[in-house]
Amino acid sequence: MEFIELLREIAENTQPDNSGLWIAVVSSASALFGALIGALLLYSGVVRQIESSKEIEQRRLKASIITNERLRWLQDIRQRHANLYTQLDMQYNYLKRTIPPSSLQPILDEFSKAAMEQTNMITNMLISSDPEQAKLKRSLQLKLKLMVRCFFLKSQNKSQIYDRRYALVKNVAFQSMEKIGINTWKKIKKLK
């Protein structure tokens, strides 16, 4: 009988009391909760990384567009400035010749028209609040006034030549163009 009682005691002790089931449920719930938290943290990190990448790309795109436009503007204004001074130098050299003003007039008119167009285009491309650009605008206007004065004197058959003044105003214009180029490159470098 002792053996039977021992078996009964063993049977009573081995009957499920549902504690193992609860342990399994809690373990599974913890694993699921941990996986959910991990997935949410991963998702949050990926979203932040995507936003950061998007912001960086937008800044790069903006810097690229601004850089290209500034370079295009600088090249355009340099080209126009070179064309303008080609026209002005040719006018000035024609004025120095001993050609009668009447035969010289059509040529000077053609040069004057081209010079005025270039001057007006350059002036419209410049910003007056920028000191170097304002200086270039003033030098272009001074150059035109000087040319008008030279035309007037030539029409009066006076051979007054303003070589020093012409060279000075031209030098100021070219120095201003150089500084505008340097300032533009500095702005471009700051973008990158």
The pTM of the full predicted model, rounded to 2 decimals, is 0.67
The pLDDT assigned to 62 comes to 87
The pLDDT assigned to 175 comes to 93
The pLDDT assigned to 11 comes to 58
The pLDDT assigned to 12 comes to 64
The pLDDT assigned to 91 comes to 85
Q: What is the pLDDT along the chain (192 residues), one digit of tens a residue?
A: 676 675 566 656 655 555 655 666 677 777 778 888 888 888 888 889 999 898 989 888 888 888 899 999 999 999 999 999 988 888 888 778 777 766 777 777 787 888 888 898 999 999 989 999 999 999 999 888 888 888 877 777 776 678 888 899 899 999 999 999 999 999 888 876
The pLDDT assigned to 179 comes to 94
Question: Rounded CA gap, 128 and 59, in Å?
Answer: 28
Cα-Cα end-to-end distance for the chain = 94
Enumerate residues 6+ apart whose C-beta is below 8 A from 140.
Answer: 84, 119, 122, 123, 173
The pLDDT assigned to 176 comes to 92
